Amino acid sequence: DAGITQSPRHKVTETGTPVTLRCHQTENHRYMYWYRQDPGHGLRLIHYSYGVKDTDKGEVSDGYSVSRSKTEDFLLTLESATSSQTSVYFCAISEGDRVNTEAFFGQGTRLTVV
């Protein structure tokens, strides 16, 4: 299994509080991604990173920010959590080259905003 660790795995937080989710990889992959998954939807891309300090928005980036100061860590921050951000969040990594293109996913973080 690819070395991807998401923390925390479960979190309950109150509306209006800041929340940071961490994704840590041991594979030295260039690309890292944050997705959310809600009932009735597939995975939706929030933000992704193509290198240290290089990030870009995905499909549903409003209300989220990210940072990548080291190759191995990609942080997702909800500056002021809302109930609509209750979801399961998945981190993914990929090498980002034309030969090895598969992505590997973490086990997910279940976030509940009350």
Does 103 engage in binding with another protein (CB under 8 A)? yes
| CB closer to another protein, 3 vs 96 | 96
Task: Find the shortest distance in angstroms from Cβ 17 to another protein.
Answer: 26
Q: How far is CA 88 from the centre of its chain?
A: 10
Which listed residue (5, 27, 58, 63) binds another protein by CB under 8 A? 58
Which listed residue (25, 106, 111, 113) binds another protein by CB under 8 A? 106
DSSP for 30-62?
Answer: SEEEEEEE-TT--EEEEEEEEETTEEEE-SS-T
Give the range of 19-27, 70-78, 79-87, 95-103 binding another protein by CB under 8 A: 95-103
Handedness of CA 30, 96, 36, 105 (dihedral sign): negative
Task: Find the shortest distance in angstroms from Cβ 104 to another protein.
Answer: 7
Task: Find the shortest distance in angstroms from Cβ 65 to another protein.
Answer: 18
Does 32 engage in binding with another protein (CB under 8 A)? no
Q: Decide: helix, strand or coil at residue 84.
A: helix
Handedness of CA 36, 25, 53, 32 (dihedral sign): negative
The CA–CA distances, whole Å, from 79 to 59, 76, 91 equal 18, 10, 18
Which residues sit at the interface with another protein, rule CB under 8 A? 31, 33, 35, 40-45, 48, 50, 58-59, 90, 92, 94, 96, 101-108
